[in-house]
Amino acid sequence: MTRNLAAVISDTGGSLPIGEWQFWVASGLALVAAFLVLKPLLPSKRPSPPCGGCGRSKPAGPARTELTIEGSRR
C-alpha cells in the first residue's frame, strides 16, 4: 500500500515553520555557509596569471648569483 507524500508529511507534523523568525535565521546561515563552502569549487571569472601568484607584481629581472665549481669562485 503506497501513501501520498503530502499525507505522510501532514501525519508526522513535518511542515516547515515559515512563520518563525528562527527558521529564517537558520536558513540564511545555512545558505551563507553553503556559499562559503562551494565558492572555492566554482570557476572564477578572472583569468589566472600564468605563474600562479605573480600577476600583480612587476616582472622579475635577471637573477645574479655567485656560482662555485669545485670550491673556487669564478
Give the 3-state secondary structure percentages of the chain, helix then strand then coil, rounded to 5: 40, 5, 55
* One pLDDT digit (tens) per residue for the chain, 74 residues: 556 666 655 555 678 899 999 999 999 999 999 999 999 998 877 776 666 655 556 666 788 878 777 766 55
CA distance 1 to 36: 43
Question: pTM of the full predicted structure?
Answer: 0.44
Cell of 30: 545555512
Residues facing residue 69 across a β-bridge: 72
SS3 of residue 67 by DSSP = coil
C-alpha separations of 26 from 12, 16, 20, 35 in Å: 22, 12, 10, 14
Q: What is the pLDDT of residue 25?
A: 97
